[in-house]
Amino acid sequence: MPSPRGIFVGQSAESLATIRAQAIERLTTGDRVSLAGAGRSSSRTFSMTPEDILREVAFAEGKLNGTRIRRTYSDSRTQ
């Protein structure tokens, strides 16, 4: 899991809530990257996965609230 880059640090709590809601919507409905019909077509590419966005939002919220986000590591050798 990559470390957060802090791209949303400095955003308001309301903006972070909106960004989180959009990422969750993408997770639950799926990304639509192309659409075609009636002689027209459209496509959209996303620069970040919803998981990455949620990680970045959690990091920014932690900075805003003064809490730290802990990373968890899984080591298959200890199981």
pLDDT confidence of residue 13: 94
pLDDT confidence of residue 29: 82
pTM: 0.65
Which token pair is 76?
């298959």
pLDDT per position as a tens digit, 8-28: 999 999 999 999 999 999 888
Question: What average pLDDT does the segment 27-45 reach?
Answer: 72
Tell me how far apart the alpha carbons of residues 20 and 50 are, in angstroms, rounded to a whole number. 9
